[in-house]
Structures are given as structure tokens and as C-alpha cells.
Structure 1
């Protein structure tokens, strides 16, 4: 059985990615993001849990990082009956679990078995402190709270020697704001909306990068014109050819010139490569996650478009829509100014502005999946007639292709 899930990164105070939170999609209860009980149906061999978790896609989500997985108490009981190492797995109690004596007894078992356990901020309320003694972490939401409240909650958690995760960070400013609380970990858009004026001016004025990008954005662009633009900047030409050959290595042979590249690859694929190089250049002094998130969105948008029966041209534009959905974070501008700077195709522009277009639903579906907003995803899937059963397969395909860069030659 396949499970719909998404991973979301957890960062430390130095903005290093240290873990992934995996959220599952329950169609009968979209607000619940806990691991499905059906994973534990076969308990004939207690050593099978590793295999069961692999079937749920865990090994694909982890990438050598710690995994945080939400559990309901019934699933916890099943987990604790398996001979399964606690290494690499952090348990988070499902948000809707009642804090009662039965749960407290279960937490004691988990604590004795050595499982790191995350509990929600409700446990900090007066009368619930007994639960804190058997947990290792606490998650505090920054949403709708001022700094003083978060600081008070963090101090109380620290007094119980708990490690603190602050959730719902909406921007780099938010991250800077709440980091003063001296929490241990952060979840949310911690790189969003940074002031990148210096980086922006350097990158967009470097050689012919912006001219090349704007040239290939045009319908039926002229490859002779592209060659002429690049001829004025040998450094950028060299960089583009290196980029192409690093991806094509061992697959298609070596590309020696821009003319050869365009003739060999075709206009649409060349447009994709130039766009990827542009995104890479704009983010090369930024955390790798910005570029990785952009490319992940791009490929998932493209896959959804392909499986929706769209033609190649629409699928390519869906790719570019996903790729440049992060433009504000790449350029340190709001979306309107960023779109104007890059001279993006009209259909893509409409989608990025949230206006109605044949590309809008693709990026909306990807963003909903990324945020584990299962209710919105269900609605959007019905509108585009995309099977919700298909999406987890496409998501896992995207993760695999991003790791191996095979999406670039597909």
C-alpha cells in the first residue's frame, strides 16, 4: 500500500538542516498528520517494522537525517511492541491526543525504551507538567504569539531540560525575532524574504545572465541570437556548457558549443537548462535549500501537468512556474517586482501572481502538498481531475529524480 506524505525540514539556530518532519495524508481526517495505523496491521514478525516504514516511504524521505513522525497513542502502542531501534526516529504525539493517565503511562514506556518524544505546548499548561518528565522535546507554535509569550513558554520548557522546536516561522525576520528565545530548532520558511540587495545587484549585472534568460523566455527564440548574446561573455558560456555536460555525462555525450546544445536538445529543453542555471546563479550564495526547493517544485509541477494530459509546452511552463515560485526569496524582492525584473512569460506571470491561468492549479497543488495542507490538496485534485492516489507516487518520483538529476534529461 502507498501512503501520501510530505517531508518538511527542521533547522537548528545556525540554519543547518538537521531533520525532516514527515506528515501523512488521511483522506477521512485531513487535519490528522500522524502515521497511518494500517502500517502496523501485520505484527506476525516484530522485526518487520523497518520494512513497513520503508513501504511508507520513510527511507526515501530521510536522506541520512533524523525523521520526526507523528503518532497517535494506538500507533504508539503498536510501535512499542516491535523490536525496533529508536535511533533515527523521533516520535511526536499527535496534536489531538488527550493528556490523560493512559497517555502518561505510554510515555513512560517510550521513555524507558529510549525514544525521543516531542509533545505539544499544551503540556506547559499548569497541571500537565507530569508529561514533560518523559519527553525530550517540546514544540511551540509562533503563530499568533508575540515574542514575550514564546520566551515564557521556552523558559518553562528549558526548566524541564526539554529541547525546544519553534514552529510556524514565516520569514527570515521571524527567525531572527524568535532566535532570541534561544530555542534549539526551527520549522517554517526561515530563509524567506531576506534582504538580498547586494547579492541581487551582483548577480543580475554579472555578464549576460539576465539577457540570456529573457531571450530564451520568448516563444520560438532564435538560437543564433542566443549564441550572439553568449559570445559576449565567455565565462557564462563556459559555465552553461559545464552545467549541461555535468548533467549529460554518461548519457548523451559531450556538448562543445551553444549551437550544438540547442540543435541537440531543442528549444524547450534548452530553455529549461538556462532557467535552471539562472536559478542556480541567483542562489549560489544562499542556503542550498532555496535552490533545492525551487527545483523540487518545478519537477513536481511538471509531473502533475504531464499526468494531467497536458502537452509538452504546457508541462515545460509548469516546470518554470514551479522553479520561479521562489523568486522573492532568490532576489529579495516582492513577487511583482521580481517578475518584472525577470520578464517572465505571460502565463507563468499570471500563475505566480495568483491570477487565473492554465498553470495556476499546478503550483497551488504543489504548495498545498509542500505545506501538508491536505484539505486544499483534495479540493485542487478534484478540480484538475488528478487522482489523489497518484500524487504520493509523483512526489516520491520527484525526490528520487532530484537526488540523481535524472529529471534534467527526461
Structure 2
């Protein structure tokens, strides 16, 4: 399963690339599909930002993303780093006090806002104190109309970005009018990028939506649902690893992640997934194996009496195959997650106590019985017990595959 996104370069007056606008695509065809704008934005965030990270798509340059009415009012942009993103307000959104309040709040949090395909309508003037950039479609207006508008808004201190620039002559004319940024076929056409996507179980997502709709969320139940879906667990951790949270916080369990986020952010995360219609078929073999490893590592930690490690051990097993799901190296992926150093060490180097648990799971998968027995003695858990834990973990993962529910 793959996700697609197009990026189009944004350049300065020296024709240097300073950012990229991301455009939703649902296939290799370079055209916007027939879906609502809110869903398109949510798909970009869940399929790209919460999986690989926007920085890998834009080569670390500034990212311009379109947001429609609902995603703005519900503060979805706050899952992004305000230092590296520009929030584009689509020209077709309905102006309201709610929208104006959302723009004020985003601006106060340090986000840069842009009016996309601005039509020069004075009704938008009340937004200008919060706007950093105005994007003008130069195919819609002649040079005289553009010049008049530029003079009218000169006191607001906004920057101007010319869209759909197609010739050198247009570029030079627009420079004399004071445009700082440029986008169009004269510089670069949108480029479609394809990346591997993690599938989430539809039943798990529906159960999360149900929990999020309750007045009092059941944190234990949400943790249990997440514990049965590697895709949702990974995206949750990526969601936390954003500017809205303390980057020094190290997550040790799924329940810890949910409590740390707080109810409002958990509901935002679930809404983002729901709006993107994140769905899929039954988990494939890689995902089932991830679940089995998670259960097995947790069993071993509990057998050893590790007070802190059972939830961390579960995360190590759960995330141990994310590199295979996303076709990236584990050390690259682990740096994108706000997990405890012990978890990162276990995932990347298979060292430390958590690394031993994961290594033991791998021994069983490869039928390396001598190595398994050596490890069982090192961690002081009887080999017969370990065998039972492994069989039970496989059975538990199969139950999840078949849609049944069981506690962690």
C-alpha cells in the first residue's frame, strides 16, 4: 500500500528554492482527485507527516500546506512545527468569527499563515494582521489589477507570492511590483512522490472514534486498542514528536503517551485519522509478527518482574518491524520517535535488557534454539516458560488478525 503527494517548488527572487507546497494525490497521475479539501489535507498529514515526516519530503525546507475550514477551526495545524511550515488558507473557505479566532490562535503559537489564491476581496482585510504571505494567481489578474492591490495592502507588511508564473517576462514584471516568492511552470511543475504506507485496522479506528466521542474517555481502553495496531501506535508517537509537545519527554508506554498528550490532543489525533479515512484490510504478516513480538517481549518482562519494563518491552516488540513497513533504516526511524533511550537502544542495536527480549523473539522466529537457551539463562527465565509465552503470543496475534479482542 502506497501514499502519494505532489510537491511544487517555491523560489525567491534569486530563483533559489526556499520551500515546497504539498498537494494531495491518490495515484501517480498529477491531478487533484475528487475528494473534499479537509480529507485531502488530513491524508497528507496522516500518510506523510505521521509516517515519514514532512522534512523528508521537502528536503528540510519550509512546507506549505492547504487547510480548509474544519481542519483550521479544529487546530489540526498544531501537530506541525511552526518553524518549518506555512498554513495556507484556501480561498473557498467560509469567513466566520470561528475561523478568525483560529487564525489568531495559530498566529499566537508562532505559525505563519498565507491566503491562497487570494481574490483581492476586501472582506479578507480583517485577517491581514495575522497573515504573513498572500498568494496571487497571476493568471487571474492583469498587471494593472495586481499593482493596484499591492499598493492597497502595502501597510500590512505581508509578503507576496506569485502563483502560476510561466514566463521570464512575467517573473521580471512581478519582481518590480515587490513579489518576494514565485511558483509556477516557469520554475518547476509539481513532482509526484510515492512512499510506502502503514495500514491501520479499520475496526481499531472505529473503536478509537467511539472512545473519543465519549464525555469521559477510557484511557485504558484506548491504550488496549492502540496496543493491537502497530500503524496507529506508530502514528501516535509521531504525533507526539511535534512542536506542540515537550521534545524532552521520553515515552515509556502507550498509556503514558495518552496521559501525556491530554484528552484534547488525543481526540485531535483520532479525528485526524478518522477524517483521513485511514482504513485497510486485515493486518499483513509483518504487522501480525509485530504484534506477536510485542506480546512476547511483554511476557518476558513480566516474568522477570520488571516494574518499569513491561510497557516499554511491548513498544519495542510493536515497533521492531516499522523499518520493514516503511522501507527505511531503523536508526533513521527511531530518531523520529519520542521514545525512551532504552527503547531506541533495543530497536537499533538490540542491546540492553529490552534488546535481549527482542533478540530472544528473533531466536524463536529463526528456530535458533541454542541461542534462545543461552539467552534464557542470561535473563533467568526458564526456557519452557519462554516457549509457552511465544506460543501464546502467536495465538494472540492471530486472534487480532481474525478480528477478535483480547486484553494486553
TM-score by length of 1: 0.41
Greater fraction of residues in helix: 1
TM-score by length of 2: 0.41
